[in-house]
Amino acid sequence: MRELLRSQDPVRLSFLTALLADAGIESLILDTHSSIMQGSLDILPQRLVVAEDDLDRARRVLTEAGELS
C-alpha cells in the first residue's frame, strides 16, 4: 500500500474514496481510530492509501479532479 495523501477532513476523504472507486481503484483510509481518539487536537491526520500497482492511476484521477497538485 502506498500513501496518496493525509487529511483531517473526513468529508474530503470520503469524496476522494468515492472518486477512486468510480475509477475502479480500491483505497483504504488508515489511522481513523487514532485520529478520532485525538479528538479536536488535529495531531493525527488520516491517510488515504492505494495498492502500489494503482498508485500512478490514482494520482492521475485525483489530479484531474483538482484534489492533488
CATH of the domain at 47: 3.30.70.790
In a domain, 29, yes or no: yes
Asked whether the predicted pLDDT for residue 61 surpasses 80, the reply is: yes
In a domain, 39, yes or no: yes
In a domain, 25, yes or no: yes
In a domain, 31, yes or no: yes
DSSP 8-58: S-HHHHHHHHHHHHHTT--EEEESHHHHHHHGGG--S-EEEEE-GGGHHHH
pTM: 0.85
Return the pLDDT at 45: 87
Return the pLDDT at 69: 84
Return the pLDDT at 51: 98
In a domain, 37, yes or no: yes
The total domain count for the chain is 1
Which residues span the domain enclosing 49? Answer: 2-64
Is the distance from CB of 18 to CB of 67 less than 8 angstroms? Answer: no
Return the pLDDT at 37: 56
In a domain, 69, yes or no: no
Residue-wise pLDDT tens digits, 2-50 = 999 999 898 999 999 999 999 999 999 998 866 555 555 556 789 999 9
